[in-house]
Amino acid sequence: MPQLNFKRLLVEYKKVQSAISAGQAQGILRCEPVGDNMLEWDVDMTFPEGSPLQTSLDALAESMFDAEMKKLTLSVRFPAEYPLSPPEVWLRRPRMRHCSEHAGAVTFGGRVCSLTLASPGWNPVTAMLSVLEDVRRLGNEGGTERKKQDSYFKKVVCRVKMRTLVAIAVEHERSGTTPHKMPNGKARGPPRDFVEASQIGGTWTLIAYGIMLVVFLFELASFMSPGYTTMMTLDKAGSDLLQINFDVDVHDIECRNLQLVVYAQNGKEKLGVLGEDFWLRSIDASGKTFGVSIKPQEYQWQGQEEDDHDKVMQKVRQQDGAEEIDSDWASSHDGFKHKSFEHVIQGHDFTFINFFAGWCSHCQKFAPEWDQIAEKIHGKGDAPAMKFPDKDGIERPIRLIKLNCVDFKETCVEKGIDAYPTLRLYKADGSFTVYDGRRGEAEIVRWLERMAKMRSYGWGKHHETFERGCNARGRLQVPRVPGHLELMAGGGDQTLNPRMTNVSHTIKHLSFSDAEDDTYSRKTPLLAARLLQQGWKHFPGEVTRNLAPLDGRKFVTSGFHQAYIHDLKVVSTVAGKETSYQFQHQARISKLPEAAIPQAQFHYDIEPFSIHVKTDEKRWYDFGTSLCAVLGGAFVVLRLASRFSVHLSASLKLGAKAQRGGAMSIGHFE
């Protein structure tokens, strides 16, 4: 559908203003937009001295003692398809009439008609100054005069009487009847076709009743469901802030490694967030939340709570040589074969593995602490090795082993290691549990003691069992400028593996609102979304479906080094006292370099204009007028159809007496 060329409209407006200022617009005194609406202009113009129209205007101004009445005021209205479609020019004041000697340029409704303003004669390159000059020429040459009220109403009454008499005469002549005469010559009684009954007339009566009932119901439905109109103006936001409401699940990034950051449109400058009110909560592989909601600045990684479950130990140990089984996998050139990771696990009751990478800063910081813990548990010199009692009270040793994921990359990929360092405690049967607490000596030793006593609860044989995601929910108040919201993976107490980082996500809710909006709550996010929707009830359906179009949608990447980027075009929308924001969405998958960590990004651009939605309700008298018009039209059409069918039926019956079809009357059909 063609769109309004707003730039062309501004150029035409400036040209008209320049011509008026330079005195080159003959007779055009003023051209101003109506309020802030550039789609409607008010134009004042006068006509040459001595012309019939100007003479009439001068007389009107003199009789009303108002010099302003010497000019003609027009309303120029531009359609949404301008300049592909012509504008409409309407007469605002004073009221006009057509001269009997000429075909005037103004309709009874007040619209100015000319070939230039009609679709067949319109040219998209026509200048508005030329259009106004053409309207002035038509007013001067078309014989249009100011309306005289008394003579006008007399002519209307005479024409109504004459048309009534002519209609009655034509009706009698067509039906072949004559009006019944009274002694004084006056007509009495209706024509025979109003009182004669026929089978066809009765059938058409039933059809008419059904059609009129349907028409009435449609007209009533139109009255009960009013439409709306829209108007576009420059955005006059009362606040310099914009609020982003969000509820997003990131399925494969733990909360400890997730941050929410807002950048400027160029992606380099970090915008200051003036209102930050959101929470992070862990989710499992099925998307269900667990644990407590924690603000990012309050997130502290404490040890897991002690569990009441005891652990069942199955001793499966295969000896491949003590040195080979007990050696660290710190390097592929340390003299050991390192053929089988499974043999290392099977060779100990418990094996505590530290998966690390040499370039990881967190691993480098943790390395001295790990060596100290290993010396304490393995024993050094005369100090005996530590034993950890299991559920039956039997003391079991735990072997600590480092595994370098740079030299043994295939093993780490196979085990699903996506962040460094990762600490896992394996049992001899291959099941394991993950340590995600504070990496301190006392905390790790207490955790190992607790795990050694546990039963099967908390253990699994596949790394997917321990995959955790994060739910980010809340709101951010950001400067009202284009920017992008980034769900940034990384920045926690682990270094992420770019190859294994997956930022697939589900958007439960995403919307924009004014900074004063306080209806989004962390405690009841679904209820908060409904509260937002209650504020949207003033908007029509075509608008509400674009206020939160991403709710419930999933965005899942299918390969390594990929991330979704969302481009959002935001438009403020006003209905009454309610203001909300529509946005259009485009999603694309970005392919990243191998060293870059994928990030989910939401780029938003705020449009400089605002859309005002106004309800267009139909008045009760408009409903009554249109209903009478539609029912009357249906009555006339069906009556003509009834008469035609009767005459057609009579002509087909050769030798039979022609039957006259019954005519319809209000309330009774024959």
Q: What is the DSSP-derived secondary structure letter of residue 256?
A: G
The secondary structure of 200-222 as a DSSP string is HHHHHHHHHHHHHHHHHHHHHHH
Mean pLDDT of the 251-275 span: 78
Confidence of residue 354 (pLDDT cuts 50, 70, 90): very high
Give dist(CA 385, CA 390) in Å, integer.
16
Integer Cα distance of 194 and 192 in angstroms? 5
Phi, psi of 116 (to 5 degrees): -65, -35
For residue range 265-285, list pLDDT tens digits in order.
Answer: 776 677 777 667 788 888 887
Q: For residue range 219-241, what is the model confidence (pLDDT) as tens digits?
A: 888 777 767 777 888 887 767 88
Give me the DSSP letters along 129-147: HHHHHHHHHHHHHS-EEE-
384, 353 Cβ separation under 8 angstroms: no
Assign 3-class secondary structure to 429-475. CCCEEEECCCCCHHHHHHHHHHHHCECCCCCECCHHHHCCEEEEEEE
Task: Say what the pLDDT of residue 568 is.
Answer: 92
Per-residue confidence (pLDDT) for residue 518, from 0 to 100: 59
Q: Is the pLDDT of residue 566 over 90?
A: yes
Flag whether pLDDT at 334 surpasses 60: yes
The verdict on whether omega for the bond into residue 421 sits within 30 degrees of 0, i.e. cis, is yes
Q: Does position 103 have pLDDT exceeding 90, yes or no? A: no
Q: What pLDDT was estimated at residue 293? A: 66
- Please report which confidence band the pLDDT of residue 564 belongs to, taking 50, 70 and 90 as the band edges: very high
Model pLDDT for residues 366-394, shown as the tens digit of each residue? 999 999 999 899 887 777 888 888 877 78
Whole-prediction pTM: 0.44
Helices (H) and strands (E) in the chain, counts: 13, 29
366 contacts 421 by C-beta, under 8 angstroms: yes
Position 275 scores a pLDDT of 62
* Residue 104 neighbours by CB under 8 Å, 6+ apart: 96, 97, 98, 142, 143, 144
Q: What is the pLDDT of residues 472-524, one digit of tens each?
A: 888 888 888 888 888 888 777 677 888 888 889 999 999 888 877 655 544 44
DSSP string, 399-440: EEEEEETTTTHHHHHHTT--EESEEEEEETTS-EEEE-S---
CB 660 within 8 A of CB 196: yes
Q: What is the pLDDT at residue 363?
A: 93
Write down all domains in the chain, each with its CATH number in brackets. Answer: 6-142 (3.10.110.10), 241-285+468-616 (no CATH), 340-453 (3.40.30.10)
First to last CA, the chain: 49
Residue 190 has pLDDT above 60, yes or no: no
Share of the chain above pLDDT 90, in %: 14
Note whether 209 and 669 are within 8 A (CB): yes
Q: What is the mean pLDDT of residues 1-7?
A: 73
Please state, in angstroms and as integers, the Cα–Cα distance from residue 510 to each residue in 394, 525, 581, following that order: 55, 11, 11
Q: Are 580 and 535 in contact (CB under 8 A)?
A: yes
Read off the pLDDT of residues 432-464 as tens digits, 9 standing for 90 and up. Answer: 888 988 889 999 999 998 888 874 445 556 555
Q: Residue 365: what pLDDT?
A: 93
Higher-confidence residue of 89 and 575: namely 89
Separation of alpha carbons 155 and 361, rounded Å: 98
DSSP string across 275-304: EEEEEEEEE-TTS-B-S--B-GGG---PPP
Examine the pLDDT at 57 and tell me if it is beyond 60.
yes
CA 605 to CA 561: how far, in whole Å? 26
69 vs 494, which has greater pLDDT? 69
Task: Give the pLDDT mean for 341-350.
Answer: 83
Contacts for 630 with CB less than 8 Å, ≥ 6 apart: 215, 219
DSSP 560-612: TTEEEEEEEEEEEEEETTEEEEEEEEEEEEEE--TTSPP-EEEEEEEEEEEEE
State residue 381's pLDDT score.
Answer: 73
**Structure letter (DSSP) for residue 550:** T
Residues in contact with 395: Cβ distance below 8 Å, sequence separation at least 6, in sequence order: 387, 388, 389
Report pLDDT for 105. 65
